[in-house]
Amino acid sequence: MSAVMITRKVRKWEKLPGKNTFCCDGRVMMARQKGIFYLTLFLIIGTCSLFFAFECPYLAVHLSPAIPVFAVLLFLFVMAMLLRTSFSDPGVLPRALPEEANFIEMEIEAANGNVPSGQRAPPRIRNVQINNQIVKLKYCYTCKIFRPPRASHCSICDNCVDRFDHHCPWVGNCVGKRNYRYFYLFTLTLSLLTIYIFAFNIVHVVMRSVDQGFLNTLKETPGTVLEVLVCFFTLWSMVGLTGFHTYLISLNQTTNEDIKGSWSGKNRGQNPYSHKNIIKNCCEVLCGPTYPSVLDRRGLMQEDSPAAANSEGPCSFDNPVAQTTKTTAPLIPNEHTPDDIKPSIAAEKSSGPKDDQPPAAMQPPLASPETDAETSIAKNQ
């Protein structure tokens, strides 16, 4: 007559909803489709390798050794910005827990009053006034929250993202509040790198052709043709993209708002987020504070799962560990929970995470423990 529950600690990223993929035990967060990201990496690394292999030796000797050095620095900066954009949390808003979702539902029902059956309920919209401008906050049915201003739900990643700009397949991630400046610096420095490589390719070809003739030059450095081709096409798109985002930054708008025309046309000049000053807008976006991730991907949490054979019905007897599952406990114990608080009438949940072994007899785990999970078995009698 015994039921056995296995409690183990897992990292929170393993239980996050949404369609992201995580690597390095939660340190890296990307979208599911990464193919185009690999293409971006291949193009950048490939083109730069060709440049360093074919052009740089000649240019270092005949012009200046500073040329390859600067190219290396630029290349490293581009890669750092790309990886930072791709791997970081764009500003995902976590979904509402059941209590919060219920609370919001109650508020909505109270606001709507009684809707006669058969009639569609009014759309869930909340109006807020921001800097004397009325902004509508929409309700997200997936995340069960009213989206903060400028947030939007990305259908590819299935997350609400704060200050959502767009989902960029080239970096394999959404671009939002937390990684917009890295994205912008990536496009800017990649444009510069492309221009740099293109320019020095031309210089190299010209210089060598003067000595050896054009066709011989191409025969000796075949990589040049490939580089010029890639750079030519990349240049136009990257310079255009950088220019577009510079325009958006100066107006403090997101791509999403621009596409939807939120602050253009008849609404022009009414952007409540803009400081009406180009320098101030640029400073806010590029030099503003670095927002922390609210996802806590690497935090630990309890996960209870019933063990294989033995359990007889729900463990409803005096076993606090088995009962304090994530789904029923309103407070999710985690690293941030101040569990050295012992309020005089605290519920047992606040002492949950640290002491998950009841004083009763312990037995060796039924399942083999995973590398960073602790298994403990609670036994009922």
C-beta of 206 vs 346, nearer to another protein: 346
Point out which span in 61-69, 94-102, 198-206, 369-377 binds another protein (CB under 8 A).
94-102
Q: Which residues pair with 302 in a beta bridge?
A: 9
Asked if 361 is part of the footprint of another protein (rule: CB under 8 A), the reply reads: no
Judged by CB under 8 A, the number of residues near another protein is 66
Write down the least CB distance from residue 234 to another protein, Å. Answer: 21
Touching another protein, residues 182-211 (CB under 8 A): 182, 185
Given candidates 36, 60, 97, 218, which one binds another protein under the rule CB under 8 A? 97
Q: Nearer to another protein by C-beta: 81 or 248?
A: 81
Residue placing its CB nearer to another protein in the complex, 181 or 208? 181
Q: Nearest approach, Cβ of 322 to another protein (angstroms)?
A: 11
The CA distance from 49 to 62, in Å, is 20
Give the angle 87-289-125 at the CA atoms, nearest 5°.
80
- Regarding 115 and contact with another protein (CB under 8 A), the answer is no
x/- string (CB under 8 A) for another protein, residues 333-352? -x-xxx--x-xxxxxxxx--
What are the backbone dihedrals phi and psi of residue 2, each rounded to the nearest 5 degrees, phi first? -145, 150
**In this structure, what token pair is assigned to residue 157?**
């990643």
Orientation of helix 223-251 relative to helix 278-287, angle to 10° = 120
Q: Annotated catalytic sites, by residue?
A: 168
Residue 323 contacts another protein per CB under 8 A: yes
**To the nearest whole angstrom, how small is the minimum distance from the Cβ of residue 61 to another protein?**
29
**DSSP symbols for 102-168:** HHHHHHHHHHH-PPPTTSPPPP-EEEEEETTEEEEEEEETTTTEEPPTT-EEETTTTEEETT--EEE
Taking CA atoms, 82 is separated from 22, 188, 344, in Å, by: 17, 11, 51
Quote the CA–CA distance of 177 and 164 in Å, as a whole number: 7
The yes or no reply on residue 128 touching another protein (CB under 8 A) is yes
81 lies in the site for another protein, by CB under 8 A? yes
Residue 110 engages another protein in binding (rule: CB under 8 A)? yes
Shortest distance in whole angstroms from residue 359 CB to another protein: 14
By the rule CB under 8 A, 216 interacts with another protein: no
The two beta strands, 145-146 and 28-31, are: unpaired
Unique residue bearing structure tokens 């990684």: 179
Looking at residues 130 to 149 of the shown chain, list those that interact with another protein (rule: CB under 8 A): 130-131, 135, 137, 145, 148-149
Give residues 249-308 in contact with another protein (rule: CB under 8 A).
272-273, 283-284, 286-292, 294, 296
- CB distance 177 to 163 below 8 Å: yes
**Among the listed residues 265, 246, 256, 296, the one whose alpha carbon sits nearest the alpha carbon of residue 92:** 296
One of 8, 11, 153, 163 touching another protein (CB under 8 A):
163
Report yes or no: 136 and 127 within 8 Å, Cβ to Cβ: yes
According to the binding rule CB under 8 A, does residue 14 interact with another protein? no
Q: Phi and psi (nearest 5°) for 118? A: 100, -20
Under the binding rule (CB under 8 A), the answer on residue 17 touching another protein is no
Give burial (CB, 10 Å; 0-12/13-18/19+) of 173.
Answer: buried
Q: Which is nearer to another protein, 189 or 201 (CB)?
A: 189
| Residues found near another protein in the complex (CB under 8 A) | 76-77, 80-81, 84, 93-94, 96-100, 102-103, 106-107, 110, 128-131, 135, 137, 145, 148-150, 163, 182, 185, 272-273, 283-284, 286-292, 294, 296, 314, 316-318, 320, 323, 328, 330-332, 334, 336-338, 341, 343-350
